Structure 1
Amino acid sequence: MMATLTCLPTFTRRHERLATWLLILLALLVLGLGIGLRDPWPADEPRFALNALEMPKTGNFWLPHRGGELYPDKPPLFMWVTALGIALTGSVRLGFLLPSLLAALGTLTLVMDLLRRLHGRRIALLGGIALLTTLQFTLQAKTAQIDMLLTFFTTLGAYGLLRHALLGPAWRWWCAGWAAMGLGILTKGVGFLPLALLPAWYWLGRDGQITSLRFRELIAGIGILLAVVALWGLPMIVMTSLGDDPSLAAYRDNILFKQTGERYADAWHHVKPWYYYLSQVLPWAWMPLTLALPWAIPAWWRRFKRHDTRIILPLSAMGLIIVFFSLSPGKRGVYMLPTIPFLVLAMAPLLPGLWQRRGLQHLGAVTLVLLGGVLLAAGMLGKLGLPALQALAQRHDLSPWAWWITLGVAAMALLGWLKPRRGLLALTLWFAVFWGLWSTWGYSLMNETRSPNAMMQRVAAITGPDAWLALPAFDEEFLLQSRQPSVHFGYHTPLESQLERAYAWLQQAPDVRWMLIDQHHRDALECVALDEARDLGFQNSEEWWLIPATAVADCRGDADAAPLFVAPTSLTKTEVGTT
Structure 2
Amino acid sequence: MHRSDRLAAEPGLISARPAAPWHATRLAGVPAVTLGLVVLAFALLWFGTLGVRHLLGPDEGRYAEIAREMLSTGDWVTIRYNGLKYFEKPPFHMWATAVSYALFGIGDWQARLCVALAGIAGLGISMLAAARWFGARAGLLAGLVLASAPMWNLAAHFNTLDMTLSGSMACVLACMLLAQHPHATAPARRRWMLACWAAMGVAVLTKGLVGLALPGLVLVVYTCVTRDLARWRRLHAPAGIALMLLVAMPWYWLVARRNPEFLRFFFIHEHWQRYTSTVHARKGGLWYFVPLLVGGFLPWLGLVPGMVRAVGQRTGVVAAGGSRPFQPALMAGLWAVSIFVFFSLSGSKLPGYILPLFPALAILAGAALARTGDQPWRRQLCAMLAVGAIGLLASPVVATLDSNNTPNALYRAYAAWVALAFALVITSAAIGLWLLRRHGRLASITAYAFGMLLAFSTALLGHEAIGRSASGIDMVAPIERVLRPGMPLYGVGMLDHTLPFYLRHPLTMVAQADELAFGAGQEPQKWLPTLDAFVDAWQHGPRAIALLSPQAFSELSARVPMHVVARDWRRVAVANFPLAGAR
TM-score by length of 2: 0.80
**Preserved CA contact (<8 Å) 1:375 1:408:** yes
- Match of residue 344 from structure 1: 362
1:172 aligned onto 2:184: no
- How far apart, in 2, do the equivalents of 1:115 and 1:216 lie? 20
User: 1:286 offset after TM fit, Å?
Assistant: 1.9
- How far apart, in 2, do the equivalents of 1:207 and 1:353 lie? 28
Structure 1 residues 107 and 22: alpha-carbon distance in aligned structure 2, compared to 1, 3 A threshold:
farther
Structure 1 residues 346 and 410: alpha-carbon distance in aligned structure 2, compared to 1, 3 A threshold:
closer
- Match of residue 378 from structure 1: 395
The match for 1:45 among 38, 60, 74 is 60
User: 1:3 offset after TM fit, Å?
Assistant: 11
- Match of residue 475 from structure 1: 496
The 3-state SS of whatever aligns with 2:349 is: coil
- How far apart, in 2, do the equivalents of 1:161 and 1:305 lie? 15
Deviates more, 1:99-108 or 1:34-43: 34-43
User: 1:536 offset after TM fit, Å?
Assistant: 4.7
- How far apart, in 2, do the equivalents of 1:311 and 1:485 lie? 49
User: 1:352 offset after TM fit, Å?
Assistant: 2.7
- How far apart, in 1, do the equivalents of 2:488 and 2:171 lie? 47
1:434 aligned onto 2:455: yes
1:284 aligned onto 2:295: yes
**Preserved CA contact (<8 Å) 2:424 2:452:** no
Structure 1 residues 199 and 394: alpha-carbon distance in aligned structure 2, compared to 1, 3 A threshold:
same
Which AA in structure 2 matches 1:195?
A: G
The match for 1:228 among 247, 253, 269 is 247
Which AA in structure 2 matches 1:292?
A: L
The 3-state SS of whatever aligns with 2:314 is: helix
Structure 1 residues 416 and 227: alpha-carbon distance in aligned structure 2, compared to 1, 3 A threshold:
closer
Structure 1 residues 280 and 84: alpha-carbon distance in aligned structure 2, compared to 1, 3 A threshold:
same
User: 1:523 offset after TM fit, Å?
Assistant: 8.5
- Match of residue 538 from structure 1: 568
1:516-544 per-position Cα deviation (integer Å, ceiling 9, x unaligned): 201244696486258x56395534xx2x3
Structure 1 unaligned spans of 5+:
242-248, 552-579
Structure 1 residues 389 and 545: alpha-carbon distance in aligned structure 2, compared to 1, 3 A threshold:
closer
- How far apart, in 2, do the equivalents of 1:389 and 1:263 lie? 32
1:425-472 per-position Cα deviation (integer Å, ceiling 9, x unaligned): 5864541331453465x26534422311111323344x4657643222
**Preserved CA contact (<8 Å) 1:86 1:94:** no
1:165-203 per-position Cα deviation (integer Å, ceiling 9, x unaligned): 224441122122112101101101221222244235535
- Match of residue 531 from structure 2: 499
The match for 1:514 among 540, 545, 559 is 545
**Preserved CA contact (<8 Å) 1:318 1:343:** yes
The match for 1:135 among 150, 157, 167 is 150
Which AA in structure 2 matches 1:361?
A: R
The match for 1:85 among 100, 107, 111 is 100
**Preserved CA contact (<8 Å) 2:432 2:448:** no
Which AA in structure 2 matches 1:470?
A: Y
- Match of residue 8 from structure 2: 8
- Match of residue 581 from structure 2: none
**Preserved CA contact (<8 Å) 1:200 1:313:** no
**Preserved CA contact (<8 Å) 1:291 1:364:** no
**Preserved CA contact (<8 Å) 2:414 2:465:** yes
Structure 1 residues 207 and 181: alpha-carbon distance in aligned structure 2, compared to 1, 3 A threshold:
closer
Which AA in structure 2 matches 1:515?
A: A
- How far apart, in 1, do the equivalents of 2:407 and 2:392 lie? 14
Structure 1 residues 47 and 415: alpha-carbon distance in aligned structure 2, compared to 1, 3 A threshold:
closer
User: 1:287 offset after TM fit, Å?
Assistant: 2.1
Q: How does 1:202-281 map to 2 (within 5 A)?
A: 202=223, 212-214=231-233, 217-241=236-260, 249=261, 251-268=262-279, 269-277=281-289, 279-281=290-292
Structure 1 residues 502 and 107: alpha-carbon distance in aligned structure 2, compared to 1, 3 A threshold:
same
User: 1:63 offset after TM fit, Å?
Assistant: 1.2
**Preserved CA contact (<8 Å) 2:47 2:116:** yes
Structure 1 residues 16 and 26: alpha-carbon distance in aligned structure 2, compared to 1, 3 A threshold:
same
TM-score by length of 1: 0.80
Deviates more, 1:16-25 or 1:319-328: 16-25
- How far apart, in 2, do the equivalents of 1:483 and 1:323 lie? 41
Structure 1 residues 21 and 121: alpha-carbon distance in aligned structure 2, compared to 1, 3 A threshold:
farther
- How far apart, in 2, do the equivalents of 1:3 and 1:46 lie? 50
- How far apart, in 2, do the equivalents of 1:95 and 1:364 lie? 36
Alpha-carbon RMSD across the aligned residues, in angstroms, is 3.6
Structure 1 residues 396 and 365: alpha-carbon distance in aligned structure 2, compared to 1, 3 A threshold:
same
- Match of residue 205 from structure 2: 186
- Match of residue 22 from structure 2: none
User: 1:480 offset after TM fit, Å?
Assistant: 1.6
